[in-house]
């Protein structure tokens, strides 16, 4: 299914409903601090946080999450908050998830209606062999670091599956796009599955048969009402994506997991290959150009992370080997990946750069 929750950047800024801050706000209340002053330092007022239908910039939310984890010295804050999530905590979308007959339908609905809660993100569910993959990421690559949001989102969704479908549910694998930080062993205990870092997106890999198992008979009358309500919440705030925006989203979500070809993307976008090529040409681009742009952008993000290995970055971006990536990066930037990495580390911490890990 095509990703249906990508906010076109040309239309308006990526926003998130303040209700997403509720678990974080509740956590802050445990500390003896001036909440109003604390929020004010981050450009927020308490009334904005307590009104679940108000909106704030997604970038502000992500940076607040990272700042709180740092200020409170709780590097696993996203995990901690995700473990407490309940369906009602994410509003009607959470209730709709809880009423779904299968895990698969639940994740399909999360992808379809996620923009009722937030824009500026991409998510979709797709098949890879015998597995299903649910992939999630923030569209703006410049919005980094974003570890807390990623860990919170995946832990919270894991808890939703366990509370709504099966208490012993576990994915086959869990992927994170950020480097391994904090307590990786804790994440493995939470998910009860292998956790991989420095991936091209944040993902659950799950068995297709398990995700398709029916757990309940759906009340279509009730779910139809909820879907209508969620659609009304979304309203006209999000303009329909252009074909370029849709293709960019699929590239970001599929990279390293599913073949990125004109035929594959055309099928998922429910059009012919010829029509997709024509539509892209009308916007003066091609699939090759868009794939290259995404790889170039993400290569610089990944190489800027501490401890990044060129071989890992090459694999994450779907290159057959390190040499192919080296040549491509040198063509894009005029410098070798190792030189870019050293300069990025120097700019980040003011040192001469770390030793080459490759």
The CATH number of the domain where 322 resides is what? Answer: 1.10.10.60
- Tokens 């659609």, residue? 231
Tell me whether residue 263 is in a domain: yes
- Lookup: tokens for 346: 């120097």
- The CA-atom distances, in angstroms, between 56 and each of 13, 87, 187, 234, 308 are 10, 22, 29, 15, 32
Q: Is residue 281 part of a domain?
A: yes
With a CB cutoff of 8 Å and minimum separation 6, the contacts of 55 are 15, 16, 17, 18
- 7 pLDDT above the threshold of 50: no
Mean pLDDT of 115-130: 92
pLDDT number for residue 41: 84
232 domain-assigned: no
Region 86-111: mean pLDDT is 94
Mean pLDDT of 193-222: 97
Domain coverage including residue 262: 243-349
For residues 316, 319, 324, 328, the Cα torsion angle rounded to the nearest 10 degrees is -70
* Count of the separate structural domains present in the chain: 1
Tell me which of 14-18, 188-192, 264-268, 318-322 is least confident.
14-18
φ, ψ at 315 (rounded to 5°): -65, -45
Q: Is residue 39 part of a domain?
A: no
Range 85-114 average pLDDT = 94
Residue 9 is predicted with a pLDDT of 43
Exposure on the CB side of residue 205, measured as CA atoms within 13 A: 19
Instruction: Return the higher-pLDDT residue of 213 and 18.
Output: 213
Inside any domain, residue 184: no
Residue 69 within any structural domain of the chain: no
Q: What pLDDT digit, counting tens, does each position of 180-205 carry? A: 987 899 999 999 999 999 999 999 99
User: With 0-12 CB in 10 A as exposed, 13-18 as middle and 19+ as buried, what is 14?
Assistant: buried
Asked if residue 235 belongs to a domain, the reply is no
From 136, 139, 105, 135, select the one nearest 119 (Cα to Cα): 139
Residue 88: is its pLDDT beyond 90? no
CA distance 289 to 191: 37
Cα distance between residue 78 and residue 154, in whole Å: 9
| Angstrom distance (rounded) from CA 248 to CA 336 | 26
Q: Which helix (H) or strand (E) is 16 found in, with range?
A: strand 15-17
**CA 313, CA 260: separation in Å to the nearest integer?**
18
At residue 353, does pLDDT exceed 60?
A: no
Residue 274 belongs to some domain of the structure: yes
Q: How large is the average pLDDT for residues 163-181? A: 96
- The predicted pLDDT at position 348 comes to 65
Amino acid 239: pLDDT: 62
- Are residues 218 and 100 in contact, defined by beta-carbon separation less than 8 angstroms? yes
Average pLDDT of the residues in 217-234: 93
Question: Residue 276 CA to chain centroid, in angstroms?
Answer: 25
Q: What is the rounded average pLDDT of the residues 48-73?
A: 87
pTM: 0.89
* % residues pLDDT > 90 (the chain): 70
């Amino acid at each position: 299914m095509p990703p249906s929750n990508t906010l076109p950047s040309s239309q308006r800024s990526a926003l998130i409903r303040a209700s997403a801050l509720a678990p974080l706000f509740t956590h802050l209340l445990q500390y003896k601090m001036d909440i109003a002053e604390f929020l004010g330092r981050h450009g927020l007022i308490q009334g904005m946080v307590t009104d679940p239908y108000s909106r704030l910039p997604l970038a502000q939310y992500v940076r607040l999450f990272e700042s709180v984890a740092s200020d409170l010295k709780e590097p696993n804050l996203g995990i901690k908050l995700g473990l407490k999530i309940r369906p009602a905590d994410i509003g009607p979308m959470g209730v709709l998830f809880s009423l779904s007959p299968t895990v698969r339908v639940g994740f399909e609905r999360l992808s379809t209606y996620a923009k009722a809660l937030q824009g500026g993100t991409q998510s979709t569910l797709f098949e890879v062999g015998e597995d299903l993959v649910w992939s999630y990421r923030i569209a703006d690559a410049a919005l980094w670091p974003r570890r807390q949001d990623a860990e919170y989102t995946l832990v919270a969704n894991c808890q939703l599956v366990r509370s709504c479908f099966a208490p012993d549910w576990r994915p086959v694998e869990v992927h994170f796009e950020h480097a391994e930080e904090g307590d990786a062993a804790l994440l493995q205990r939470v998910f009860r599955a292998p956790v991989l870092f420095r991936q091209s997106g944040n993902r659950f890999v799950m068995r297709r048969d398990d995700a398709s198992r029916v757990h309940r008979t759906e009340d279509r009358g009730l779910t139809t009402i909820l879907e209508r309500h969620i659609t009304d919440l979304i309203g006209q705030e999000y303009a329909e994506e252009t074909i370029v925006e849709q293709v960019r989203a699929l590239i970001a979500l599929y990279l390293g997991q599913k073949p990125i070809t004109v035929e594959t993307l055309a099928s998922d976008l429910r059009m012919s290959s010829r029509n997709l090529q024509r539509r892209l040409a009308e916007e003066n681009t091609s699939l090759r150009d868009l794939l290259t742009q995404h790889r170039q952008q993400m290569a610089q993000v990944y190489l800027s992370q501490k401890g990044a290995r060129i071989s890992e970055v090459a694999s994450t971006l779907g290159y057959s080997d390190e040499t192919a990536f080296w040549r491509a990066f040198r063509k894009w930037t005029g410098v070798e990946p190792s030189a870019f990495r050293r300069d990025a580390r120097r700019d980040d911490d003011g040192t001469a750069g770390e030793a080459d890990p490759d």
